[in-house]
A and B are shown apart, each in its own frame.
Chain A
Amino acid sequence: MTLLQDTRTVTQDSAFTLYGLSFRSRLMLGTSQYPSPAILAEAARASGAEILTVSLRRESARLKEGQDFWRLIRDIGARVLPNTAGCYSVKEAVTTAQMAREVFSTPWVKLEVIGEADTLQPDVFGLVEAARILSADGFEVFPYTTEDLVVAERLLEAGCKVLMPWGAPIGSGKGLNNMFGLRALRAHFPEIPLIVDAGVGVPSHAAAAMELGYDGVLLNTAIAKAGDPAAMARAFGQAIEAGRAAFLAGPMAPRDMAAPSTPVVGRAVLT
């Protein structure tokens, strides 16, 4: 009984808090590319996600597609994190964020300033500048960044209180391309919420991010493009919980050579 109590003490989790708001689920879900709105809603619920990313796009007066989409998101009931996806300049990103704040009634913005079309990697110089402008204007910025420590430092100076480094290029499903860099970022900023955003392909990638001590994972394509998005959403939810529990439990230190797990002492001599 004592042992069980001790274990519970060790694995007591802290809250997942983003700009003063606490969440139970550490999975943040994108809403794009699902086979249908109904499957999006089903996958969102199955994932347990309490935060959904959304965007702004041109609205046709005739079709009014955005109005239907907004009703669907409101029915799901999660908090929304609007993005500035597709913005290649500071001005575009800032203007998009301003429009998103009005439409979605939230100071949150997932800030993307893209620097290169093939990799969709962030323009970190523009990102820092846009983050500074938006933070000064009262936005709560979630910057989509790389694992670069110096850029991370600049983003924090600019006013960001969350960092979202990529695992791999958006939509690539490659997983965590730079484990060393992600580990270094975690070690450098132990008190800052860190979320792996982009590049996650399968639940083991998400679990690996959580085992590193990351606070959450943001993903979209891996669930939307799965054969059964709701089932995959559930699997990701479980992997993220398992990874978090493993981090809290304290993973063993890896070593290069084998170490017998069965006691050597007492082995029968049978030669």
Chain B
Amino acid sequence: MDALNRSGVSKTLLVNGVLREIDAGTLAQALSALDYGEAKVATALNGEFVPARLREVTPVRDGDRIEIVAPRQGG
């Protein structure tokens, strides 16, 4: 479970197309560190959907791509 804990060493993650240095072991910790709080968002890790209930057990690794999306206007 070590991979799921903060290590104190920042990871480089590509969040919505922007490189970020984040100390996070899991996707849930990354969202929290990025200050999304309780926002209504959906997430994908390296192109695969990660349901909200699995964010706490989904590890993030150096170089991972995270997409965080929310409702928006659409036709």
> Which chain A residues have a beta carbon within 8 Å of chain B's beta carbons?
30-34, 40, 53-62, 64-67, 69-70, 73, 82-83, 85, 91, 95, 98-100, 102-104, 170-171, 198, 220-221
Which B residues from 21 to 75 make CB contacts under 8 A with A?
Answer: 34-36, 39-44, 47-49, 51-52, 67-75
Which residue of chain A lies nearest to B48 when distances are taken between CB atoms in the complex? A95
17 contacts between A and B (CB under 8 A): A33-B75, A54-B71, A55-B72, A56-B69, A57-B70, A58-B16, A59-B69, A60-B16, A64-B39, A67-B70, A69-B70, A69-B71, A69-B72, A85-B75, A99-B42, A99-B69, A221-B75
Which residue of chain B lies nearest to A53 when distances are taken between CB atoms in the complex? B74
Find out whether the CB atom of B39 lies under 8 angstroms from the CB atom of A58: no
Which residue of chain B lies nearest to A80 when distances are taken between CB atoms in the complex? B71
Complex CA distance for A66 and B70, rounded to whole angstroms: 5
B17 within 8 A of A: yes
Find out whether the CB atom of B47 lies under 8 angstroms from the CB atom of A32: no
Interface residues on B, range: 20 to 34
Residues of A within 8 A of B44 (CB): 95, 99
Per DSSP, are chain A's interface residues mostly helix, strand or loop, or mixed?
Answer: mixed
Q: A58-B16, A170-B75 are in contact. Are A103 and B42 (CB under 8 A)?
A: yes
Residues of A within 8 A of B52 (CB): 102
Complex CA distance for A55 and B75, rounded to whole angstroms: 8
Find out whether the CB atom of A32 lies under 8 angstroms from the CB atom of B16: no
**B37 CB to closest chain A CB, in angstroms?**
8
Q: A56-B69, A58-B67, A95-B49 are in contact. Are A31 and B74 (CB under 8 A)?
A: yes
Q: A95-B48, A99-B44 are in contact. Are A65 and B72 (CB under 8 A)?
A: yes
Closest 10 CB pairs of A and B: A66-B70, A55-B74, A30-B75, A99-B42, A220-B75, A59-B70, A32-B73, A57-B72, A98-B49, A56-B69
Find out whether the CB atom of A66 lies under 8 angstroms from the CB atom of B74: no
Find out whether the CB atom of A58 lies under 8 angstroms from the CB atom of B68: yes
**A83's contact among B35, B36, B51, B74, by CB below 8 Å, is which?**
B74
Q: A56-B69, A99-B49 are in contact. Are A66 and B75 (CB under 8 A)?
A: no
Find out whether the CB atom of A67 lies under 8 angstroms from the CB atom of B39: yes
Which residue of chain B lies nearest to A221 when distances are taken between CB atoms in the complex? B75
Q: A33-B73, A53-B75, A95-B49 are in contact. Are A66 and B40 (CB under 8 A)?
A: yes
Find out whether the CB atom of A58 lies under 8 angstroms from the CB atom of B42: no
Which residue of chain A lies nearest to B67 when distances are taken between CB atoms in the complex? A58
